[in-house]
Amino acid sequence: MLRRASCALVLLLIASDARAGSVQVFLSQDGRDVSGTPATRVVFTPRSGTDGPPVECAPKGICAVPPGQFAISLRCPSLVPLDRPKYFSDTAADIPTKRGLVLRVVPAAFVELGPHRFPSGSVLTVMDVESGLNFKSDVGSDRTSLQIPARSVLAAIFRDDAILDLWKPLALKPGERRELPENPPMPKGKAHLVVSLLFPASGTSGGNRDISVRWKSNGSALGPNIAVTGDPWRWTGFWFDIPAGEGSLKVDSKAWTLAEPARIEAPDRATGCAAPSAAGRTVA
pLDDT in tens, 226-238: 999 999 889 999 9
CB 217 within 8 Å of CB 250:
no
According to the per-residue pLDDT averaged within each range, which of 3-7, 113-117, 140-144, 275-279 is highest? 113-117
pLDDT of residue 216: 94
Residue 14 reports pLDDT greater than 90: no
> Nearest to residue 179, comparing CAs of 107, 109, 114?
114
Strand partners for 153: 128, 170
> Nearest to residue 155, comparing CAs of 172, 173, 168, 137?
168
Strand partners for 278: none
Alpha-carbon distance 25 to 133, whole Å? 21
Phi, psi of 114 (to 5 degrees): -75, 165
Q: What is the percentage of the chain residues whose pLDDT exceeds 90?
A: 65
Residue 252 reports pLDDT greater than 60: yes
pLDDT of residue 277: 55
Phi, psi of 22 (to 5 degrees): -130, 150
> Nearest to residue 7, comparing CAs of 123, 106, 173, 88?
123
Residue 241 reports pLDDT greater than 60: yes
CB 88 within 8 Å of CB 59:
no
DSSP annotation of 167 reads P
Residue 200 pLDDT class (50, 70, 90 cuts): confident
CB 191 within 8 Å of CB 271:
yes
Residue 11 reports pLDDT greater than 70: no
pLDDT in tens, 116-157: 999 999 999 999 999 999 999 999 889 999 999 999 999 999
